[in-house]
Amino acid sequence: MRPGHLVVNDLTTPSFPTVSTRPVGRTVGGHISHAFGVLARQLARPGISPVVSAPVTDSDALFGALETFCDAVPRDRCRVERIAGFDLFVREGVPGHPFYARPALGAPAGTAADIAAVRARQRELGLPEAFEWVDETTPGLIEPARAAGLAVQLAPLMVLTTDAPPPVRIPVGATLRLLDPDDETFAADLAASAAVADLAFADGGTAVGAAGPAERDETTGTLDADRVAAEAELIRTGRHVRALAESPQGLEGAEALRGVVAAGSAGRVGPVAEVVGVGTLPVARRRGLGLAVTATVVRAVLAAGVRVVFLSADNEDVAALYARLGFTRIGTSCIAEPA
């Protein structure tokens, strides 16, 4: 759920649980109803295994699908420690970013003392003291998290409510492509994409910033061979999709903007996918590049059989951009870290 968090899992179709969600406001509730209608139609298409075994309410089905996805994502590369109603995901073997703790499926909101116990274990293991959850699925956790000394980011949770994103115009000179593990440039593409994302999230928002190609090149490092191999396997097996926007000769009116200028990805579990890590080089913003990368990723996962696509926007301004692609806000993703 974290904006920019790169996570995926296997392709098995999960069994979505019935979850109890709190009442939501009229506007968001209407969006949930509309999104659920899209979800039901998508999942009813030929070749899609049933994922809901009993009648449920609109919000039950939609939030249950997302909750199961978020629980499943880390499990093929982590051991799971259950601490006071939270599942702490501890990465093992496969290289990559450390994971987080989140409420166990079906568990009620924890207390500040519960959170303190998880944080103590995270410190013991040398892990970031990070927590993630959906407010509508685990209501009542925001205040205990703050009482435990965490700052809680409230990120708009959005679901695609159109059959496909509309076309996005991009500047002359820019091209879009999916990363291919068999390309000889794959490792370099991966490293440049990571550098662009790091710069983008270090200077958040939608305003044009200062960091450009020189900063990207300074930030780009050589990725560990195991990490490159692991990412290649994820893409080959359909669990991950990555896209980038690049400008080999510079953009129209900005000839100095060369190389990778935007990147993004999606992770998949069964018929559900999450768009993550979409970032544009700050100096190249306000040109539609991030939206174009997002649309490219979304079309790729839909073509591969995904029926539900969601994301967590960094803030309301970013959410407004995603709305132009057909994403609708249905709730709030919570990301908590030490204040």
In DSSP terms, which residues pair with 335 in a beta bridge? 132, 153
Contact of 333 with 134, CB cutoff 8 Å: yes
Examine the domain organization and report whether 65 and 100 are in the same domain.
yes
Is residue 35 very low, low, confident or very high in pLDDT (cuts 50, 70, 90)?
low
% of the chain at pLDDT higher than 70: 83
**Statement: residue 39 has pLDDT above 80:** no
**Statement: residue 24 has pLDDT above 50:** no
**Statement: residue 42 has pLDDT above 80:** no
Distance CA 325, CA 84 (A): 40
Contact of 102 with 131, CB cutoff 8 Å: yes
Distance CA 68, CA 89 (A): 15
Evaluate the CA torsion angle 98, 234, 260, 218 in order and state its sign.
positive
Q: What is the pLDDT of residue 133?
A: 97
Examine the domain organization and report whether 185 and 326 are in the same domain.
yes
Examine the domain organization and report whether 247 and 284 are in the same domain.
yes
Domain of 305, in residue numbers: 175-330
Give the CATH number for residue 312. Answer: 3.40.630.30
Is residue 331 very low, low, confident or very high in pLDDT (cuts 50, 70, 90)?
very high
Question: How many domains, in total, are found in the chain?
Answer: 2
- Mapped onto helix, strand or coil, the DSSP state of residue 337 is strand
Range of weakest confidence among 34-48, 233-247, 286-300: 34-48
Examine the domain organization and report whether 142 and 183 are in the same domain.
no
Looking at the domain assignment, is residue 2 inside a domain?
Answer: no
**Cα distances (angstroms) measured from residue 299 to each of 30, 144, 172, 239, 257:** 25, 39, 22, 15, 26
Q: What is the pLDDT of residue 125?
A: 96
Examine the domain organization and report whether 225 and 297 are in the same domain.
yes
- Strand order in 308-312's β-sheet? 78-83, 86-91, 101-103, 131-134, 327-338, 150-160, 308-312, 272-280, 259-269, 240-247, 175-178
Candidates 129, 121, 2, 142; CA nearest to 73 is 2
